[in-house]
Amino acid sequence: MTTATTTVPRGAPPRAPETGLFSLADLSAERVTRLAERSVELYRDRAAHAAPLAGATVGVLFTKPSTRTRTAFTVAAVRLGGTPVTYGPGDLQLSTGEAVADTGRVFGSMLDGLVARTAGPLDELRQLSRYGRLPVVNAMATEEHPSQGLCDLATLMLCLGDLRGLRLLYVGEGNNTAAALALALSGVPGCEVTFACPPGYGLPEDLLTAARKRAAQAGATISLRDSAKALPTGVDVVYTTRWQTTGTSKGDAAWRERFRPFHVDEEFMTRRPGALFLHDLPAHRGDEVSGAVLEGPRSVAWTQASMKLSGAMAVLEWAIDGRTGQAGRTGRKGRTGQTGDASEA
């Protein structure tokens, strides 16, 4: 009697192209605009779709705290007809040392897409996509929070309409939200964005270079200042974020003293009459913003928060929806959301 044997190839599987949303720098300015516009459409009518994720299963992996983003993507998958499978920080073998690539291969054999916020760098999410051959959405990495940038752009569109010539002043840490905001606004024609950050807490130079390159093509400007003095007053929007980014800590014991001049209070806003106020939340009243400003008539922070859902719907619809292209392994049609926008006309 002859026994059949199966040879298992050694080494890693061939790498597939990365798909999904990792950084707004990967997308064309036109794609970023269209995703924001779609977010506004879905905000106005959350039923304005044909359940594009029907039959799809979406992993939702969060190893760091989240209220808005985790809720938004979980509910978005359901609203679009999909089924979410959620994972916490200790739920996967990643926490016991399994390789990211191995986890990706397993995910790819069972899921149709993954939304992930991990404690590691962005490259981990790219590995999950490559080895799993599935779309992955960056729900915040150390370097960037792209879905927040899309949400911010959509909020501004909803509140202000045409954004050409927008003047925005960002005050506070040059964190991953600021990075996404710079990339999102760099494609808006004539936009003027000023980032005011304490010395040593500004945007990374490589991010600034990428944003300024795109801004030059759109006739926009991205500037960085390390002082809270003589900041622009003729602005349309003031934006701040929590000084202590979620899940991080600062080695400088005196960091609060460095940030104090960048506090946004009623006096700060009075010098900028007519400017809207944005905050990505969570907020620490008394640190980066006063309660009176956050709850004041010019604050759209709560609209901004609620738009996280429609923004997540727009991202999932684009990244995981398989209504166009070649037949895929799941039996649904092939996936869109290719990184790089090679075929986005």
Sign of torsion over alpha carbons 260, 291, 159, 35:
positive
> How crowded is residue 284: how many other Cβ atoms within 10 Å of its Cβ?
11
Fold: same for 20-144+308-320 and 146-304: yes
Q: Where are the domains of the chain?
A: 20-144+308-320, 146-304
Rg (CA), the chain: 21
Q: What is the pLDDT of residue 345?
A: 30
Output the pLDDT for position 15: 54
- The CA distances from residue 54 to 92, 112, 230, 309, in Å, are 26, 11, 53, 18
Tell the CATH topology of 146-304.
Answer: Rossmann fold (3.40.50)
Tens-digit pLDDT profile for residues 159-218: 999 999 999 999 999 999 999 999 999 999 999 999 999 999 999 999 999 999 999 999
Residues with pLDDT less than 70, the chain: 1-16, 246-248, 322-345
pLDDT value at position 71? Answer: 98
CATH code of 20-144+308-320, in short, is: 3.40.50.1370
pLDDT, position 252? 84
- The string of DSSP letters for 241-309 reads --SS-TT---S-TTHHHHHGGG-B-HHHHHTSTT-EEEE-S---BTTTB-HHHHTSTTB-HHHHHHHHH
| pLDDT value of position 13 | 53
Q: Mean pLDDT for the chain?
A: 89
